[in-house]
Structure 1
Amino acid sequence: MWADESTRFTTFGPVHLTMLLIFLVVCVPLVWCGRRQRGTGREVWFSRAFALVIPLVTVPMQILQFTPSEWDLDTSLPLQICDFAWVLGCYALWSRKRWAAGVNWLWGLTLTLQGMLTPDLASGWAEPRFAMFWAMHWLIVWSAVYLVWGLGIVPGWREFRIAVALTSTWAIAVMVFNAIVGTNYGYLNGKPNNASVLDYLGPWPSYVVLEVGIVIGVWALMVAACVARSRSAAARSRSAGSGDDGVLAARPAGD
């Protein structure tokens, strides 16, 4: 192992809280930067530079998991939802397409954020897997925050339907893979070792069904709030003759 017991990760311990604090602090300038750049030439350059940063960080870390010292069939394969989310986040930043930004936002602010709050993380802060976990999760949510709250690419019901379809396809495929190979990617075939919100949802498979229902319900509320906020902002903008109004004033995107 790369670290001794003194560096073990503890949920909501000092290291965990520090990681969450760093995440929150960086969200603020990202939103500010996005609003300042919205509709200008700088938006394209910054978004695409941000898009390039994500694979530059995540790809070497995922390659590391295939090295002999790090390989583990239960964790090394890129089959977690976050392994797909970082790719989607990169594409959303590069293209600024509404469907990609919307799905990335729904994934990031629920599934990825939940993983940050209750991580099943055995690695300590001095280990490569620790850096990989936090860098990947941070970048996914940061990209979502920048695109939606910064650039104003607001998701709607189309993005909601796409998110449900993509997530359902991933869940079914990974659950079948888990059953065949004996792994537990996505915790679809068993609960994580550490405490998580899944502990309150009953045994398998009932917790999977309830989790799906809760996630879809939360997504629906998030999108409903965005749609209502965008319509209200658009109405106020028309009456005031202004083209911008607040956090979720929807803007054209490259669909």
Structure 2
Amino acid sequence: MDRFIGDDDYHQFIFWSADHKLALVALGLLIIGLLILKGRSVNTTRYLWLERIFAVTLLIIEGLYHMWLFTTEQWHLRQSLPLELCSLSLMVTIVLLWTGNRYLYQFVLYAGIGGAVQAMLTPVMNWSFPHFRYFHFFYTHIGIIITALYFTWVKGYRPTLRGIGGTMLTLNILLPFIWLINNQLGGNYMFLREKPGSGSVLDLLGPYPWYILSMEGLALSIFIILWTLLRGNVTKK
């Protein structure tokens, strides 16, 4: 247990280090595996039990993360609620894996991939391999991306323009509530109060509060790019 919570025993995560590249390589290999499955005729109903097992593992590792935060006295209302884009996407991903809901698929495809890819490229965390947080961070973010691509390439779900509109609408309905929660708790969920101190793509989007508007435009652009890349690349079912 001491090794699990003894954070001083681990070195700090370094952007574009070998540990970072290892996670990106793992993501790339999984994407290649999905592309191989895409070209084959498979009975996806046989995969239902795997989908649900994967959903349970995502839920368990997220639960362990919050247990770790609590055990190490790092769990705080202002920063530990599941109100970040990737945290919300993870919850939707778990329900999607369990239910196969096509509306949830659109959100995971656009918001999930859009947020998780950015997080994978510019991780905001302190500890590197083999710290538990390293595995939690990359397992959950890779899980979001792989789930969206699996439902697209293997199960034949179709990305739609309506899905882009629905995702944008959902996010803009959530933002005022998250902004209010930030003000009440002194938090910075979805970086609505300030940019992350460790550096991210937000540094390219202008000063506060204008970068929030830039985020809207960037999100819409990413969603359109995803739709363009994936709409004609779907397995017929």
- TM-score bracket, normalised by the shorter chain, equals 0.7 to 0.9
Does the Cα contact within 8 Å between 1:30 and 1:150 map onto a contact in 2?
Answer: yes
Cα displacement (A) at 1:203: 0.6
Partner of 1:232: none
Partner of 1:189: 193
TM-score in terms of structure 2 length? 0.87
Residues 96-135 of structure 1 aligned to structure 2 (within 5 Å): 96-135=100-139
CA distance in 1, matches of 2:57, 2:41: 18
Partner of 1:236: none
Partner of 2:73: 69
Structure 1 range deviating more: 117-126 or 66-75:
66-75
Cα displacement (A) at 1:145: 1.5
CA distance in 1, matches of 2:103, 2:41: 21
| SS class of match (2:187) | coil
Partner of 1:198: 202
Cα displacement (A) at 1:159: 1.6
Cα displacement (A) at 1:40: 4.4
Q: Between Structure 1 and Structure 2, whose CA radius of gyration is higher?
A: 1
| SS class of match (1:10) | coil
* 1:17-43 alpha-carbon deviations (Å, 9 max, x no partner): 111111211222244346646444313
Does the Cα contact within 8 Å between 1:34 and 1:43 map onto a contact in 2?
Answer: no
Residues 197-216 of structure 1 aligned to structure 2 (within 5 Å): 197-216=201-220
CA distance in 1, matches of 2:146, 2:177: 27
Cα 1:68–1:7 change in 2 (3 A) is: closer
Matched, 1:180 2:184: yes
Letter of the aligned partner of 1:42 in structure 2?
R
Does the Cα contact within 8 Å between 2:155 and 2:235 map onto a contact in 1?
Answer: no
Cα 1:71–1:47 change in 2 (3 A) is: closer
CA distance in 2, matches of 1:81, 1:138: 14
Cα displacement (A) at 1:226: 4.1
Residues 78-97 of structure 1 aligned to structure 2 (within 5 Å): 78-97=82-101
CA distance in 2, matches of 1:124, 1:69: 20
Structure 2 gap ranges (5+)? 1-5
Matched, 1:3 2:35: no
Structure 1 gap ranges (5+)? 230-246
Residues 153-168 of structure 1 aligned to structure 2 (within 5 Å): 153-168=157-172
Letter of the aligned partner of 1:60 in structure 2?
L
Cα displacement (A) at 1:92: 1.4
Cα 1:99–1:158 change in 2 (3 A) is: same
Cα displacement (A) at 1:64: 2.5
Cα 1:52–1:32 change in 2 (3 A) is: farther
| SS class of match (2:79) | coil
CA distance in 1, matches of 2:58, 2:192: 26
CA distance in 1, matches of 2:154, 2:64: 28
Does the Cα contact within 8 Å between 2:78 and 2:185 map onto a contact in 1?
Answer: no
Cα 1:37–1:123 change in 2 (3 A) is: farther
Structure 1 range deviating more: 49-58 or 154-163:
49-58
Letter of the aligned partner of 1:3 in structure 2?
D
Aligned residues: 232
